[in-house]
Amino acid sequence: MSDYSEYNEDEWLTAQKHYDDWATGELAAMRHYEEEEEKQRCLNWQATIYALDSLMLELNRVFSQPILACEYQSKDNVFCKQGHVWVVKYQGNFTLLNDERGMSHIHRLLQKPNDTISAIELYRSTEGPGQETLSIDSFTLQDVVDEATLRSCNERLSEITSELEEAESNNDLGTVQRLSEQREAIQKYIRQSQMLSGQSTTFSDTADKARKAVSNAIKRALGSIEKEIPALYLHLKNSINAGTQLVYQPETKIPWEL
């Protein structure tokens, strides 16, 4: 049988320290395990809540469809929000789509055909939880055009001038109106995108972030639309010019119910 009296005080202190270190490590490991378990439980709950929310949105969409279809039966072209769903109708084809940011961007563009709207303005109009907030203190909403874009605008203005002359000589009033609206939109865009000195400003990181975020959101929304109404997808894809400045320019004017 060991005689513990043979250990001196220093040895006892060293042994005690080793035990304390071991106990501290074990306690830290246990706490870490418990924290990870709690995190996983939270993630599981979040996933469950998200799945339930998605299910409720889908049920709401399905059960609302016949009611809203009757409500908008007399309308040919509809793009408006009702509660948590978007009512979309084009050339008589009707559907309901779940809410997403890109749908709001498209709706805003449809409200002002042939008017340019900056990506930053669209981005800020839908800022909310989970979305990065962009700072625009250093520049205005119009300060987002580069020289290549400005050159393309001027080239298009020259083309429009020639096309207008031809349309006027043919007495094609519809084409004259459409080209005049395009010319006015481009000229407004150029004016907004230049400093008082006439020198265009350069892209900022913030403007580029807004461009990417808005373009991606619209692309996702168009993907949802394509699955339900392919004709509308093609119309919007061909009519929406995306970039740091966006514009909805349909070939023919469409009376939207918004």
Give one DSSP letter per residue of 10-67, joined into a string: HHHHHHHHHHHHHHHHHHHHHHHHHHHHHHHHHHHHHHHHHHHHHHHHHHHHHHHHHH
CA distance to 116, 154, 157, 225, per residue, from 179 (Å): 15, 14, 10, 28
Task: Give the Cα separation of 57 and 98 in Å (integer).
Answer: 7
Dihedral angle, C-alpha 226, 229, 230, 232, nearest 10 °: -100
Whether the predicted pLDDT of 193 surpasses 90 = no
CA distance to 157, 160, 192, per residue, from 150 (Å): 11, 15, 11
**Mean of pLDDT values over 71-79:** 82
Two tokens, residue 199: 């020198």
Supply the pLDDT for residue 128: 47
Q: At a CB cut-off of 8 Å and minimum separation 6, what does 135 contact? A: 206
CB 139 within 8 A of CB 120: no
**Mean of pLDDT values over 118-135:** 66
**Mean of pLDDT values over 59-66:** 55
Lowest-pLDDT range of 26-40, 58-72, 179-193, 229-243: 58-72
Two tokens, residue 165: 């002359």
Supply the pLDDT for residue 205: 66
Task: Give the Cα separation of 192 and 139 in Å (integer).
Answer: 12
Two tokens, residue 146: 């580069």
Find the length of the chain. Answer: 258
Q: Which is more confidently placed, 227 or 39?
A: 227
Supply the pLDDT for residue 39: 76
CB 97 within 8 A of CB 103: yes
Most confident of 19-23, 68-72, 132-136, 227-231: 227-231
Supply the pLDDT for residue 191: 74
What is the chain's mean pLDDT, rounded? 76
Q: Is the pTM of this model over 0.85?
A: no
Supply the pLDDT for residue 219: 93
Whether the predicted pLDDT of 8 surpasses 80 = no
pLDDT category of residue 232 using cuts at 50, 70 and 90: very high
Per-residue pLDDT of 195-213, as tens digits, reads: 434 444 444 567 778 888 8
Whether the predicted pLDDT of 17 surpasses 80 = no
Whether the predicted pLDDT of 134 surpasses 60 = no
Q: At a CB cut-off of 8 Å and minimum separation 6, what does 18 contact? A: none
Whether the predicted pLDDT of 235 surpasses 90 = yes
Whether the predicted pLDDT of 138 surpasses 70 = no
In the three-class reduction of DSSP (H, G, I as helix; E, B as strand; rest coil), residue 128 is classed as coil
CB 249 within 8 A of CB 241: yes
Whether the predicted pLDDT of 7 surpasses 70 = no
Q: Indicate the pairing of strand 85-90 with strand 93-98.
A: antiparallel
**What are the domain boundaries of the chain?**
7-48, 100-248
Whether the predicted pLDDT of 18 surpasses 70 = yes
Whether the predicted pLDDT of 152 surpasses 80 = no
Two tokens, residue 198: 């006439």
In the three-class reduction of DSSP (H, G, I as helix; E, B as strand; rest coil), residue 88 is classed as strand
The fraction of the chain above a pLDDT of 70, given in percent, is 71
Lowest-pLDDT range of 103-117, 183-197, 216-230, 231-245: 183-197
The amino acid occupying position 160 is: I
